Structure 1
Amino acid sequence: MTTTDIRRIEEAYQQAKELYAKIGIDTEKVLETLERIRISIHCWQGDDVRGFENADGELTGGIQTTGNHPGRARNADELRADLEKALSLIPGTHKVNLHAIYAETAGEKVDRNQLKPHHFQNWVEWAKKHGLGLDFNPTCFSHEFSDEGLTLSHPKKEIREFWVEHCKASRRIGEYFGKELGIPCVTNIWVPDGFKDITIDKLGPRKRLQESLDTIFEEKLDENYNVDAVESKLFGIGSESYVVGSHEFYMGYSLKNNKVLCLDVGHFHPTETVSNKISSMALFLDKLLLHVSRPVRWDSDHVVIMDDELMEIARELVVNDLFDKTYIALDFFDASINRIAAWVIGTRNTIKALMRAMLEPTNTLKEAELSGDFTTRLALLEEIKSYPFGAVWDYYCLKKNVPVREAWLQEVKAYEKEVLLDRDHARGEEEGEPACSL
């Protein structure tokens, strides 16, 4: 970037700063607040949710990744390198979200109920080096004991116990992350349990799930290091008719047991919106976890874009001052486009939406609403859409030493050419097939 480019960005920001000041917005305070927000970036976008147990294994549990873009990460070193590249293009300091299948066992066969903190030592050392936090998830899918579509609610005691022990091990790993990094780890439990067709006994599986969760949480861990969360879903592939861990189930469980409730943007009926649930849940729960994603007709985990629902979620957090009680994480996976670009697009959009919401005259809008002046409310909401939030965003990126606007795309394309395509060439040679190319 030239000196002239930098000067133009700074001048545009100063003009925007003055304009926003006229409606009571201090852009400097907005950027200070933005810097303190850590987004939990999901590692599984980088390798299509394959993990390191069996990189060629089939995904189960209602999860599906489509596409075959070149350069999928094949091991932990490649995945961390790709994450580093993405993080270098995203303003701020954040967290990385891991699943249990990303353990590094040095070639040893370690089943999930036997995982220990030392299997994630490399991730912790890497996070320390880059000032990152780590979040964690037990992986209750893509395993021989999840083939029947049931895990913690399975009627066979031995299978339930396997998954209970896995979740217990995951919580200890989460506590290890928190102790080592000084940043609380959110350990989120989601299971794919459900049935494809008509289900007669809906209560029985939920009783078993409740009992399994109670057993998992019996061990008291330090909440300064490990934060327990539970996540619902409406349906999945293979569980179209009945899901054991529904929203109603987990809402009740989290309220009764003081657990963090995870609201995933794609895990509800298409006519429902997570943004409209946040204020209700915030009244009754101490903490919330958001999985920011983008459903298209079903829970298809598309890359986050700057759409109305993303803005409404950001607005809810800002208007109700919920940043101290909300953990923000991403959850999408797309193999049809460059995987690093997916991370960058989704994360930058999430941060940008939060910034845009902070740049709205919230107090003025609240006052107009409270007084019944709905004309002013609507007028201001519409006019603020054309305010120069882009100039503030460009300045923030410049200040955080990341590419401004679409300049990051050239770095991603260069990385694809220099690094990612070589992976596909190597894979093609190993498999005796021609490698993918652009």
Structure 2
Amino acid sequence: MAKIDEAKEMYGKMGVDVDAALEKLKKVRVSMHCWQGDDVLGFDSTELTGGISTTGNYPGRASNPAELMSDIKEALSLIPGDHKLNLHASYAITKEKVDRDKLEPRHFKDWVDFAKENNLGLDFNPTFFSHPKAADNLTLSNPDKSIRDFWIEHGKASRKIAAYFGKELSITALNNIWVPDGYKDVPADKIGPRRRLKEALDEIFTENYDEKYMLDSIEGKVFGIGVESCTVGSHEFYMNYAAKNNKMCLLDTGHYHPTEVVSDKISTMLLFNEYLALHVSRPVRWDSDHVILFDDELKEIGKELVRCDALNRVFIGLDFFDASINRVAAWVIGMRNMEKAILYGSLMPHAALRKMQDNADFTELMVTLEELKTCPFGSVWDYYCEMQNVPQGKAWFDEIKKYEQDVLAKRQKKVLLAV
């Protein structure tokens, strides 16, 4: 008997339909973040700011649109399923210098063409960092009205670009706002900056767009490098703003206190909101944005998304950047692990488990959950990869090593010669 047949039989005894779980996974588009490929530098700046940091200097970093697209395409060839690409505004492709408040859809036409060629959706993020007018980590909350106005125009332009993505690709684009605003030391006034942020957001969201093409989300954070004492856009700020203004909250798995986990927040957020957005990274002590692993928290996120029947209500995006390892491999590891977590959650008899809980059959509940841990999940995952015509197991890494030798190493050689 083939491994997949054995797996189907074993899961079947637990009340799980493996084929139904695989069909569920096939419909999920995970948004792969473009910024892993070039250490978040983008094409309009040379320095990363805004309380964000990337470490390492692994050879072969993409330094232009052609290189970044090549690396993304290589990663996608090793990832099962059809997905989305998450872009920042700083990745505009222009022939002339265009400041961020003047960006237009046409500056992202090359990305739309790339998405069409590779059956991708596109998500978007205005870039409120790595810019001279964000030097003090104050953008939409800046006391200088001219600076606030600049970033308000950037926010408006970004929403227009995201709507263009959705219309061109017939896949709803998520436009996510995160700002680095805050203070290194204890500020004398907190409500003033938050009032300015609220008013700026109100202005950015003035124009209504068809939700079929674009949805807005807003992302909070505990703190960042250089803004340790006060983050203007805190979680409380954005949760209240979203609730009052019918916007979507985005929960980043690294943006909370070390003892908080996003998996525990998902059910509550879904109870009161039609949609939810996630940025999935792996915090080591805090928001260090490590490549996500198939660890306990990722499994819990996958289980929550499935048992809340929310895979069509949650926008799942990844957000990590590691310059100490092969950047293309980092994408593949993260994307495959996110899909594994969703599959893991789908291979559970949630209705039966819920009934045990409601009937206070906690002993059987514990026994069943423990038995599920040793079911042949790996055989089902390998079967899914085979169905999607991508390598199984570790075989995909052979292709990464070949790509590194044929492409990344030569790219690095050019860099060294230029120096």
What is the TM-score when the length of structure 2 is the normalising length? Answer: 0.99
Match of residue 395 from structure 1:
383
Match of residue 32 from structure 2:
41
Match of residue 66 from structure 2:
77
1:211 aligns with 2:203: no
Deviation of the 1:283 alpha carbon:
1.1
Equivalent residue for 2:80, pick from 78, 87, 91: 91
1:29 aligns with 2:17: no
Match of residue 135 from structure 1:
123
Letter in 2 for 1:262: L
Equivalent residue for 2:132, pick from 117, 141, 144: 144
1:215-294 → structure 2 map (5 Å cutoff)? 215-294=203-282
Instruction: Encode CA deviations 1:33-57: one digit per residue, 9 max, x unaligned.
Output: 1000000000000000011113xx2
Q: Which 5+ residue runs of structure 2 have no aligned equivalent?
A: none
Partners of 1:215 and 1:279 in 2: CA distance? 31
Deviation of the 1:382 alpha carbon:
1.1
1:12 aligns with 2:9: no
Match of residue 297 from structure 1:
285
Deviation of the 1:326 alpha carbon:
0.5
Instruction: Encode CA deviations 1:284-335: one digit per residue, 9 max, x unaligned.
Output: 1111001011000110000000111111111111111011211100000000
- Runs of 4+ in structure 1 over 6 Å off: none
Partners of 2:287 and 2:11 in 1: CA distance? 38
Deviation of the 1:354 alpha carbon:
0.7
Match of residue 149 from structure 2:
161
Q: Secondary structure at the match of 2:195?
A: helix
Q: Secondary structure at the match of 1:323?
A: coil
RMSD, aligned CA: 0.8
Deviation of the 1:24 alpha carbon:
1.3
Q: Secondary structure at the match of 2:393?
A: coil
Partners of 1:22 and 1:165 in 2: CA distance? 58
Match of residue 174 from structure 1:
162
Deviation of the 1:62 alpha carbon:
0.7
Partners of 2:409 and 2:201 in 1: CA distance? 44
Deviation of the 1:222 alpha carbon:
1.3
Match of residue 102 from structure 2:
114
Match of residue 3 from structure 1:
none
Partners of 1:428 and 1:80 in 2: CA distance? 22
Partners of 1:103 and 1:336 in 2: CA distance? 26
What is the TM-score when the length of structure 1 is the normalising length? Answer: 0.95
1:364-379 → structure 2 map (5 Å cutoff)? 364-379=352-367
Q: Which moved more, 1:307-316 or 1:396-405?
A: 307-316
Instruction: Encode CA deviations 1:178-204: one digit per residue, 9 max, x unaligned.
Output: 010000100000000000111121111
State how many pairs are aligned.
419
Instruction: Encode CA deviations 1:188-227: one digit per residue, 9 max, x unaligned.
Output: 0000000011112111100000000000000111111111
Partners of 1:27 and 1:276 in 2: CA distance? 26
Partners of 2:140 and 2:92 in 1: CA distance? 21
Percent of residue pairs identical: 58
Equivalent residue for 1:409, pick from 397, 400, 403: 397
Partners of 2:223 and 2:368 in 1: CA distance? 39
Deviation of the 1:403 alpha carbon:
0.3
Contact 2:217 / 2:250 at 8 angstroms: preserved in 1? yes
Instruction: Encode CA deviations 1:402-434: one digit per residue, 9 max, x unaligned.
Output: 000000001001100000011111011111xxx
Match of residue 102 from structure 1:
91
Deviation of the 1:18 alpha carbon:
1.2
Letter in 2 for 1:260: M
Q: Secondary structure at the match of 2:130?
A: coil
Letter in 2 for 1:387: C
Instruction: Encode CA deviations 1:151-190: one digit per residue, 9 max, x unaligned.
Output: 0000000000000000100000000000100001000000
Equivalent residue for 2:340, pick from 325, 335, 352: 352
Contact 2:24 / 2:346 at 8 angstroms: preserved in 1? no
Letter in 2 for 1:25: V
Deviation of the 1:22 alpha carbon:
1.3
Partners of 2:158 and 2:386 in 1: CA distance? 38
Deviation of the 1:129 alpha carbon:
1.1
Deviation of the 1:245 alpha carbon:
0.4
Equivalent residue for 1:382, pick from 343, 346, 370: 370
Letter in 1 for 2:83: H
Partners of 1:333 and 1:89 in 2: CA distance? 19
Q: Secondary structure at the match of 1:329?
A: strand
